[in-house]
Amino acid sequence: MNENEAICSTYEWHFLMQHTREFASAFLNQLLRERIDEEAVHKSTFSENLRAAAFHAIDCEDPVLMRRALHALAYVGQGDDIPRLSSLLEHPDSIVARDVKTCLFEIRRR
């Protein structure tokens, strides 16, 4: 199994595909944050694995996957991720670029 297949077969990848969409209302964003926190209680590596799955989705360069990934990274991203994410601020898809700004705001706010 190659790295791509390994990441795409993880629970965290499936979580990313099922539970993230795009940034929505504060209420829905709070629900996602709570769901991530619940998962992390049951699996200590959940947040780090979700972070890895999210960066894999960003590397796919599909705008829909990128937006899902940015939504997750807003809650599991780390300060070390800021330079990599900042490089996406000028993304040709304006909605992706907007979500990058929101993601960076959320990471810096924590």
Domain boundaries, the chain: 3-109
Radius of gyration of the chain (CA): 13
Answer whether 0.85 is exceeded by the pTM.
yes
Q: What backbone phi and psi angles, to 5 degrees, belong to 62?
A: -85, 125
**Torsion sign (Cα): 8, 46, 91, 3:** negative
Amino acid identity, position 35: R
User: Which tokens go with 36?
Assistant: 């991530």
CA–CA separation, 14 vs 12, rounded Å? 5
Which tens digits make up the pLDDT trace of 65-103?
Answer: 999 999 999 999 999 999 999 999 999 999 999 999 999
> Residue 108 — pLDDT band, cuts 50, 70, 90?
very high
> Residue 4 — pLDDT band, cuts 50, 70, 90?
low
